[in-house]
Amino acid sequence: MIRTFAFGALSVSAFALSAGSLAAASLEDIREAGTIRIAIANEIPYGYVDPNGEALGAGPDVAKAIVAKLGIENIEWVTTSFSSLIPGLKADRFDMVAAEMAILPDRCNAVLFSEPNTSYGEGLLVAAGNPKGITSYADFAKNPDLKVAIMAGADQLEMMQELGVDEGNLVMISANADAISIVSTGRADAYAATSLTAGGLADSSDKVEVAGGFIDPVIGGTEVRSWGGFTFSSGNEALRDAVNDALADIKGTPEWTEILTGYGFADSDVAGSATRTTSDLCGA
């Protein structure tokens, strides 16, 4: 069961991403206006909007707690594609991203990250019964007949490239929701995503399942694990630092642990959140 926690009275609204660019807002501006614009990518369980228009997920639930601590009254939720999150920040269409985006060096060159809020591993979504017997990302490098779907802008693309998967074997999609039809109809033999994303998709359709016996990818001699954080535009250090201070307080509470485990994060994922710093990850 998904559990959410009330950390303060917040007035929350949702709206679609507009084509126009909005002016950048400093922490002082945000506090004066009483409203912060936070983007998500509609990816369960990291950050999504439910049928009632409520923003949920590990990112949004913790963000609500952070915003309450910062004394900001309102959140305006922006939903957009994952590949539009960094461009949207750079174009000042929103002030913060709560999509648990993996903290990676190339992304650190483009935007600012908070300290890690979550940690998570990889997985594969395959057709029911796993007819091709796929158990690892490396299978797509070993077998040129296999095709793997990846969401545009996701770090699984870099993993596949590092493993030597041919570009012709990659099927790019724009949203996680497309993965079920892509895999179940055979347009791709699997969808590469985090274990939580793959599990959430498998729970929503009996046409697909999570690949059993999955072997975590090893890149450069290191087993792959991701650390997700909140994201801000370059130059907005004051907002990033305020969020970090609030996040440090929240991560010391049982409520934070309950948020993550309520969305399917394992105890090892919760503990893993504290094993790396953003400075380490950006310099990796």
> Which tens digit of pLDDT belongs to each residue from 134-161?
999 999 999 999 999 999 989 899 999 9
Residues 212 and 234 in one domain: no
pLDDT of residue 6: 39
Does residue 141 fall inside a structural domain? yes
Does residue 5 fall inside a structural domain? no
Does residue 242 fall inside a structural domain? yes
Residues 17 and 114 in one domain: yes
Write phi, then psi, for 22 (nearest 5 degrees): -100, 155
Residues 161 and 72 in one domain: no
Does residue 96 fall inside a structural domain? yes
The identity of residue 160, as a single letter, is M
Does residue 6 fall inside a structural domain? no
Residues 127 and 216 in one domain: yes
pLDDT of residue 22: 47
3-state SS assignment for residue 61: helix
Residues 232 and 113 in one domain: yes
pLDDT of residue 11: 40
Residues 97 and 231 in one domain: yes
CATH at 189: 3.40.190.10
Residues 20 and 115 in one domain: yes
Tell which of 207, 223, 239 closes a domain. 223
Stretch 156-173: mean pLDDT: 95
pLDDT of residue 252: 86
pLDDT of residue 216: 84
b vs e for 22-45, b when ≥16 Cβ sit within 10 Å of the residue's Cβ?
eeebebeebbeeebbbbbbbbbbb
Does residue 171 fall inside a structural domain? yes
pLDDT of residue 246: 98
**Residue 14 predicted with pLDDT over 80:** no
More confident position, 279 or 272: 279
Q: What is the CA radius of gyration of the chain?
A: 19
Distance CA 279, CA 283 (A): 6
The pLDDT tens digits for 18-75 are 333 444 689 999 999 999 999 999 999 999 999 999 999 999 999 999 999 999 999 9
More confident position, 24 or 191: 191
Does residue 98 fall inside a structural domain? yes
Residues 210 and 92 in one domain: no
Does residue 241 fall inside a structural domain? yes
pLDDT of residue 266: 84
pLDDT of residue 198: 92
Structure tokens at 27: 């922490």
Global model pTM greater than 0.85: no
- Provide the domain limits for residue 81: 11-119+227-275
Residues 142 and 167 in one domain: yes
Q: Which residue has the tokens 């060159």?
A: 109
Distance CA 110, CA 107 (A): 5
Residues 256 and 215 in one domain: no
Closest by CA to 43, choosing from 97, 105, 90, is 97
The pLDDT tens digits for 204-255 are 999 999 999 898 899 888 888 999 999 999 999 999 999 999 999 999 899 9
How many domains does one find in the chain?
Answer: 2
- Tell me the pLDDT of the chain averaged across its residues: 90
pLDDT of residue 284: 64
**Residue 9 predicted with pLDDT over 60:** no
pLDDT of residue 3: 35
Distance CA 281, CA 284 (A): 5
Residues 113 and 250 in one domain: yes
**What percent of the chain shows pLDDT beyond 70?**
91
Residues 67 and 104 in one domain: yes
